Amino acid sequence: MIGVIDYGAGNLGSVMNALKRLGFAARFAAGPEELSPGGFKSGTGSSIPASPFEKIVFPGDGHFATAMASLKKSGYDEAVKEWIRADRPFLGICIGLQLLFDSSEEAPPVDGVAVRGLSIIPGTVKRFPGRKVPQIGWNETEARPRSRLFRGLPAKSFFYYIHSYYAAPGDDETVAAEADYYLRYCCAAERGALAAVQFHPEKSGAVGLKLLENWAG
């Protein structure tokens, strides 16, 4: 079973529809407790069952600070960290990629206090330097040969994008694919069972479905 995290962001239904179209069992997570490894006692002394999910998708779009505030309010921030620390299959999409980083230029410090991301991938999220943002539409995406996400796809494929900020990992080994928009940037990351993409595979036709199948299969 694949769990889809719903923390109030948009564009969740299309991801769910794409997974079901591919024949994968999927549903929205009922709450952060469903990402628990189980086997321990809660604060009330009751036993917490193991997660019903084998894999988790973290999709959505929106503002970095607003999305982080929503994650913290719901408790999904710590649940996601715990899931990834356990090296369980995880796919972030769009803001689900950006929130994995330390910080974003979209959310500058307020009264000297920085808006922190999940800090799972070292690095930051930066605004494209050009005047024409967001990037909207199809863009050529070049996968690195070792990438598992892009297995069976042409080295250069077109995916659908809509974003004004891009991820800048501190470690080049994390980069799974790159695209060009004013500059060359990381549009997909992989590390262990963790994978994340800036584009929307669920809106990218056959190549997008193939990428989702690679991850979920």
Q: So which residues are the catalytic ones?
A: 94, 200, 202
Cα–Cα dist 51/54, whole Å = 8
Beta strand 55-58 with 90-93: parallel, antiparallel or unpaired? parallel
